[in-house]
Each structure stands twice: as structure tokens, then as C-alpha cells.
Structure 1
């Protein structure tokens, strides 16, 4: 039975995992972070600084938070395992959990994409789908204490069916609620996550990029392509920022002044926030393009619907990954090359 005394492991604690784990630990929950060695060293030296755009500013000292790079230590006693690794590491994390976690541990996927919970299902452990709607900005390498800053708003959501889980996880700074249709939530979030690649390729902060109609036109066109494929495959995404998905491209195409007036919720973002895909490019790591735009391309092939702008975005992102020089700082005009038009 899950209770406030249950032990929570954060499996793959990068910026989002450290933020979630920090909020839970500050609320008195028993938390252990499974981290990379560089994070382990930073946490043991200076602790964890947890802040957010609402003014939350709290510090966990080096002795107030458990962190390890050893999965056998992190997972062996866990009642609940929150998976926050990038989608490309899901299968590896599933094998690690299968090898080290208790058979009765409850696993929650707090990852981008639409199929990570399914990919985590090795063995008989209960795996629940989840969704984290906000961005987290991590401090630069070498900063002590390590700082994680929630840069946008929203409550996390989890699949229903595990008594006591919401009560365990719903704490100050990390609101959690149950949603009856997590599949719809994941597809809805995927529509907005199509913007991650545009932030990565433009080298612009998220708020700056979204405030520019030229970039919003590209995002709106990609969402149109995604919605066409979803409709053919009878997938109904959940509302996004209070909007029905079919209305989102129309709102994104509004003039800048009107968009800023009507879409304040979308623009309620820390001015420093970028996407995790941008961070991956900067660090020379593989991105989640296969789980975001790639998921739509696979759906479009199944549906027989066109997706030229999404395909163009994947090609540009792949080129940036291969060059290994971080964000290429593209302009919107780069998306009109090779016969791909930018709708108005």
C-alpha cells in the first residue's frame, strides 16, 4: 500500500528529475535520485537549489537528499519509481528496473512521447503513464549548488488506478492530478512538443520564439499535419492550454499583438527557458526527435497523409546532430527550402 512513508526513486534524474525529487524531498517524502556521476558529485558537494517562476526558492543541503549513480542502491528499496530519462534511454532503464527493483514497485513514466510506459513494461510490475507539462532549466555545469528552476506552469498528470499515489506525489511546487485518458493527454502534449525542435534549431529562448509569428506559422503547419494524421487514425488529443487541439493552429497564426493578448497562458514562461532538445544539441547528445516529430511521421505513413514540414524539421535536426556544433541558429526561412512552403 502506497503511503506518505513510501520510498520514491527518481530513475534518471536530470533537470526535471532533480526538480521533482527536490520538491518531494522538501515535502518530507523519502526520495533517492538515480543520477549521472557529475550530478552525484554536485549534489554531495553543494546540495540542490530548487526555484520556480512563482517565487519558490528553497535549498536542500548536501545531507538532506540521497543521490547515487548506482542503480542497485537507488532502486532496491523503492516502492515507487518515477522514470524521467529521455525517450531514447527507455529500454535501457526498463532493463535496469527489471534487474534491480522490487517486483511490487510501481513505475510511473514521466517522459515525452506516447509509448514510453509500454516500453517500460518488462515483467509484472505495474507501469503507469504520466506527463509533466512544465519546463525545467538546470544550472550550467560546475555550478554549486546545483540549481533546478521550473520555468513554466502546469500540473503533472498520471494514469488512475493506484490508491495513494497522487497523495504521495502531490506536493508544493509539483502539483499532480489523475487523468482518466492519459493517451489523449500524451498526444495533446506531443502537439506542443513539436515546438521543441524549432527552439533547438533556432537557438532562441522559448518565450522569444513563441512570440514571433514566423516561427508560430511553422509550428501551426506542423500541428495541422499531425492533426490530419491523428484524425485519420481516430486519435483524439486532449486540450492544450485550455484549447481544443483543432483551434491551436488558428491561435498560433494570429498576429503577434493579438497572440500575446489571447495566449498569455502559453507565454507564461521564464525568459531563459529553452527546450530539452536544445540542451541535447548543445551537449552533443542524441535528441528525442524520433519520439516527437518521428512519431507523427510514422502515424502519417500509416494514415497516408502528407507531412512535408515535419519531415523537413527532422532532416534539419538530424543535420545539426551530425554536425555536433550545438544549435545551428536557423531562421524560419530554412524551413521553406527544398519545396516546403510555409503556410500563412
Structure 2
């Protein structure tokens, strides 16, 4: 049978792959050119839960020019696209061509029947659960019930039976029945209760289950829809408690959010009219009211409009920011070693010039504060309580960020020997060594990059050992060098569950820090100011988490290298409205990329997770390597640890203590293992790179076997790299390049490897 599938998404791809494997003549029509290219060149990789993956080669086109007439058109698009999709297929149709829909909601087959005639339309329903786990990868779980197909006019003819037989030959258990109206409504009940509620609230299914008030609303919504179903004569699956199966669906979906929320997040139209809107229409026809469905439909349409308007506004702000940053400025080029600097070659983000403008303004203000005797500067660790520091009126300076700039510009070898001459050993944290070496040498990349005199002279140093014990000697050196107080937070460490006693201990340390800063400044802490700063931090951190989450989309709109660049505001400007504004703009641009399916790595084929610190001196090299191999590194715990959750401006001190005690680097190995496995699933990665930084054991979670345990539990191919975050003398860039190339393209990628430590171990 010649079959045209309109829409090469999850359902269209899965059905198309099964039919093609069975020998049917299948063509998929897809408007996204990148997806057409990828599926045409690489095929579609599909795997049923618990079974090996297999590659299916497909014919995927973006135009029907030259396509012979088909016997069946399978419509696999969003409900609001049904009419356009049906009309797009007409050039490949003949008078006997049948049109089949298995879409969500109701009203799709009516739309199709109005275009091609009721006798040519088939209505179907499937219970398959399908997930995108890679740019051309689908993982699915077979439905708990067979696919059901029914003719729109309820007349089963031989050609309709033939469609069912084709599906069965393809391994898709299928029944042809006269009518599936009842079944469609039973599935609609679940979609109409869960989808819009999650979309409006932004909550996951697990979070909705835990909300007593929301569950009461959803039960009332369920009762309203059940009343319409009973008036239609639709049997209720659980007459005793119709809401019970909905609860079961919520539990099964767990941490997931339905597709309607995803559509809103992308600024796209939803299927609300085919779900709750259709129920409202049917209720009116039957003489009933459906106020909950009516209200949800209005809410969702309002959110659609606001999202679209917001996208337009943010697009304008991005263009304005880019135009401002494009004006010539006094900044001088950064002096960098060969191959240094931040990476290039990916699809650039339009917000990048705005970021450069912000960072330049930050450093100039820092230099002004250093010169102004009425202003104060604090040396602060990146995961230290910068909110308290800012609330006391200090301008924060971050030595760890300075070290990253030295590493990325490949100047560490200029400064580390100076630290060694001072008595530091080659085994100390290389970030600390290059920062302190620059301090002793009286030189810094800040001079050439931003036209300032260099790092400022702080009046106090504040750190938090939740992000590593090496901060104690690092900030201690600042105290000795400048003769300033050093104030440290030492919260309970290596925590699995963060207990109330742990938080209480951290609160006491925060209170002691505040008391000491009050003595130093001669001022009482302004709690209103602390609440204001905490609110900015909470909002920026939430936006940062949402930005990171966008990497879960296929194709990914961003890479780890984008995150390493654009994490500057959450590190250096946390607690300011500027960081919030920037991330609103960046998020809007990335959501627009998702909506348009713009790939950060053109032709994305592989999705990797990077665990461990960046190799700052090799960013450009690694970015180009992954780009050349069409591999996207979608996420890392290094950038993710700044997605700080739990800050509460109404309870700032306790919430800050809890938040900074709960960071990833301060958790137990068991917690980290569970977290990593969740991350791998969340981002749909097909391989993991573990970086063991030679001088940064507190940031390298593989030194004592954690990575190997996770690799065994997940079965994901895993590469273990020995390198370093800053010191290029401790490893060979060419060596890690060869290891990564072999891993991505060779047998190591499929089987796992432990490079540099004697062979396979995954």
C-alpha cells in the first residue's frame, strides 16, 4: 500500500517506521527542513521498551512534487493544523484515497470530512506512549489496548479492512470497528482534565497530585465532563469514582508535564479547542453547561496571546540590545593564548552582544567602586551568600570567575608558576593557583578585556565551603595578602536529604556572618533590601533553570558552551534586576528557536551530557570538535548548580541557608547518582562524558567510582576523561580530542570506555 504520513513527529515517525519495515511504500511529509535532512540521511532509530534499538530508513520530503498518488494519508499533526495538513496532502490523493486521523481531541475527522468527504475519512485511536530521546530517536511503550480504527460514516468496507490489515502486518495490533466515539471520549476525559490544568499552573503531574486545592478543582472538572459523556450515552470506565483513572494517569506521568504546557512554553498554539473547547460545544448542544471547561479554554487562549505578544516584545528587545552592542566601544581585545577565548562555530545567539555589554558595565562599576572610598568591595565565592553581601552595600568580586577568564584565554601558564614560586604545589586547585598567581604578578586579562586596572582591592572576603573546601586556603590567601577579614560559611557537608537540623545549623552560620558584617560596616542589615535582592536572585535562578530545561528539546536550541558563556549573569550579577531582564530576553530567544526548530548544532545527531568541571583552556577546541561531529552537549551539573531553588524573599535568611546548603557539590554520592540518572533521562542523552579534573577533586564526581556506578545502572556509553579545568600542562589537548572523536564515532560510543585508565569500564 502506498502511504503518505503528514508530520514526521513522534506518532508519525513511529507508525511510518513500522509500516516501512513491513515493506509498505511510505513517504513522510515534513515542513522542518533540518528534520527532513536528518531523517533522510540517518534514518529513524526506534526502540520498544526493554528491546534493542533499530535503525529504519525512511523517505522524508518537504514537498509532494513528483510523488505518485497514494492509497492512504495518515494525518499526524496538531489539531489546529488539521485543515492545512489535509489540504497539503490533496496533490498526492486520488478519488479512492482514504484519510486517517489518530490525533488528540475531537473535531479533527469532521474537519477532514468537510474537505475530502465523509466516506473517505477514518478515525483512529492509539494508546502507545512515545518519547523523543534524541534528534532522530524514539522510544516507545506499546499501548495497553490495540489501535482502533473506524470509518467516519460507520460503514466497514474492504478498503477499510485493508488498512487494519496493513497495520497488523507492521506489528501494530489493530482492530477495525464500526464506531470508536465512546473510546475517544474516554481518552478525552483524561486529556481535558490534566492538560489544561498543568498548562495554566505550570505544575508537573506529580506536583498537581500533591496540591489538595488543585485536586479538588480537577475532580470538579472531571465531574463536569462525565456529565456531558453520560448525556451522550458514553460508558464511564469507573462508575463508582470516574476521577480514579485520572489519578492513575497523573501518577503514571509523574514529573512530566503534558504537551499543552510545552506548546505554551514555546509560544505556540495549543489543542485546547479540540479538547475542552469541543466539550463546551457538545455540552451546549445537549443543553448542559460546562463552566470549568469554558473558563480553561478562555485562560489558555489568553496565555496563547500573551505568549505570542511576549515573544514579539522580547524579539524587539533582543534586536535593540544587539544594535546597542554593535556600536563601537572602547573595549580592547582580550590577550589570549593560541586557541584561547570562548568558543565559536555554533549557531550564534543574538543576545550575546547584550551580554558583552553587561559584563563590561559590571567590571567598570567594580573598578569605580574600587577607586571610590565611599563604596565597598567584597571578594565572594560564586556560590556564596552574595545576597547578604549586596544587602550590606558591597560590590561583589568573584575570584573563581576571574580564574575561569584566565583559563578560557589560555593564560594560566603565565600565572601558575608565580603561585608555585610562592610555595603552592602543582597539585592545588589550578583555578586558585592561576588567580593567586595573577594577583601576585600584578597582571590580569581584565586589563586588556575591559580596560580596567585589574582585580579590585576588597575590604572583606566571604566564602561558602558548600562549593568546595579549596575555597578556605584560596580566600585565606586574600585575607593575608590584603590584611582583610575572611568570613566563611561551613554548612553540613555531603548531605543526602537536607534535614531541618542541617538547615538550622546553616541558619546560625548565616546569622553569625550577618553579625560580623554589621560590626565591620557599622550598619544594621536592611531586611527590606535583603528581601529585594533575594527576590531578584530567585527570579534569575528560576529563569536560568527554565533556560537549561530548553536543552531537553530535540533538536536542542543551545549547547553547554552557550550555557558556559551565558551563565555570567547568574554568577556575577545574581541579586540584580539586570540579571533578571537579561534572562527574560535570552529565554524568549531560545523559546523562539524551539518553536522554529533551530538547531544550535546543525544536523544534530548525538546528545551528550558533560559531568564535571569545564576544561576552560580547551573550550574552543571542544566546541569545534562536537560541532564537526554533529554532537550537542546539552547540559552539565556545572552550569546546573546555579539553578538555585528555594529562595524566598519573605523568609530570606532561612531560605538562603537552605538553598546554599543544598547545592549539588555539597550532596552525597548516592544523591548525586540519583540526580545524574534523572538528568540523563530528562535531557534524552545517548552518551555521557565524565571529566576528572586532576586538581579539582571536589568538582569531579568520578574519582571514587560514582561515574562507573551510574554507567552500570543506566547502560549509557560513558567516557572518562582525565584532564584539568585550568592547567593545560597536566594533559594533552590532542589526546582528549582523539579520545572524544573515537568515543563519538567509534565502538567506544556504543559500548562505553574509560579513556586513560586502561580500557572499558561501563
C-alpha contact (below 8 Å) 1:56/1:173 kept by paired residues: no
C-alpha contact (below 8 Å) 1:50/1:148 kept by paired residues: yes
- SS of the residue corresponding to residue 31 of structure 1 reads strand
Determine whether 1:77 maps to 2:47: no
* 1:154-205 alpha-carbon deviations (Å, 9 max, x no partner): 3321015212221201256633222332122222221111122223334445
Determine whether 1:111 maps to 2:103: yes
Q: Tell me how far apart the structure 2 counterparts of residues 18 and 181 of structure 1 sit (CA, whole Å).
A: 26
- SS of the residue corresponding to residue 32 of structure 1 reads strand
* 1:92-114 alpha-carbon deviations (Å, 9 max, x no partner): 22322334312211211111222
Match of residue 140 from structure 2: 150
* 1:40-61 alpha-carbon deviations (Å, 9 max, x no partner): 1221243212134x32443325
Distance 1:198 1:303, change over 3 A: same
Q: Tell me how far apart the structure 1 counterparts of residues 290 and 142 of structure 2 sit (CA, whole Å).
A: 29
Gapped runs of 5+ residues in structure 1? 1-5, 254-258, 330-344
C-alpha contact (below 8 Å) 2:222/2:243 kept by paired residues: no
Query: Pairwise mapping of residues 1-344 of structure 1 onto structure 2 (< 5 A)?
Result: 6-37=1-32, 38-52=34-48, 54-60=49-55, 64-73=57-66, 76-121=68-113, 122-123=115-116, 126-139=120-133, 143-144=134-135, 146-150=136-140, 153-154=143-144, 155-159=146-150, 161=156, 162-170=160-168, 174-194=172-192, 195-206=194-205, 208=206, 211-212=209-210, 214=212, 215-231=214-230, 234-238=231-235, 243-244=237-238, 246-251=239-244, 263=248, 266=249, 269=252, 273-324=256-307
- SS of the residue corresponding to residue 20 of structure 2 reads helix
Count of aligned residue pairs for this structure pair = 298
C-alpha contact (below 8 Å) 1:90/1:119 kept by paired residues: yes
C-alpha contact (below 8 Å) 2:226/2:242 kept by paired residues: no
Structure number with higher helix proportion: 2
Distance 1:204 1:25, change over 3 A: farther
C-alpha contact (below 8 Å) 2:64/2:91 kept by paired residues: no
Q: Tell me how far apart the structure 2 counterparts of residues 168 and 272 of structure 1 sit (CA, whole Å).
A: 36
Q: Tell me how far apart the structure 2 counterparts of residues 222 and 93 of structure 1 sit (CA, whole Å).
A: 32
* 1:271-301 alpha-carbon deviations (Å, 9 max, x no partner): 5754222232232211000110001111223
* 1:114-171 alpha-carbon deviations (Å, 9 max, x no partner): 22222112345611111123343224xxx54x12233673332101521222120125
Higher relative contact order (CA 8 A, sep 6+): 1
Q: Normalization by structure 1: what TM-score?
A: 0.75
C-alpha contact (below 8 Å) 2:69/2:92 kept by paired residues: no
* 1:293-316 alpha-carbon deviations (Å, 9 max, x no partner): 001111223334332322332233
C-alpha contact (below 8 Å) 1:153/1:268 kept by paired residues: no
Distance 1:193 1:39, change over 3 A: same
Distance 1:252 1:102, change over 3 A: closer
* 1:213-270 alpha-carbon deviations (Å, 9 max, x no partner): 6454433322211222343xx412355xxx24x44534269xxxxx6xxx4xx46846
Gapped runs of 5+ residues in structure 2? 312-542, 547-762
Q: Tell me how far apart the structure 1 counterparts of residues 287 and 47 of structure 2 sit (CA, whole Å).
A: 45
- SS of the residue corresponding to residue 139 of structure 2 reads strand
Q: Tell me how far apart the structure 2 counterparts of residues 134 and 31 of structure 1 sit (CA, whole Å).
A: 20
C-alpha contact (below 8 Å) 2:7/2:75 kept by paired residues: yes
- SS of the residue corresponding to residue 278 of structure 1 reads helix
The alpha-carbon deviation at position 211 of structure 1 amounts to: 4.7
Greater CA drift, 6-15 or 170-179 = 170-179
Distance 1:94 1:317, change over 3 A: same
- SS of the residue corresponding to residue 71 of structure 1 reads coil
Distance 1:112 1:250, change over 3 A: closer
Greater CA drift, 128-137 or 268-277 = 268-277
C-alpha contact (below 8 Å) 1:220/1:248 kept by paired residues: no
Distance 1:8 1:271, change over 3 A: farther
Greater CA drift, 214-223 or 78-87 = 214-223
C-alpha contact (below 8 Å) 2:3/2:73 kept by paired residues: yes
Distance 1:7 1:51, change over 3 A: same
Greater CA drift, 171-180 or 31-40 = 171-180
Q: Tell me how far apart the structure 2 counterparts of residues 87 and 126 of structure 1 sit (CA, whole Å).
A: 19
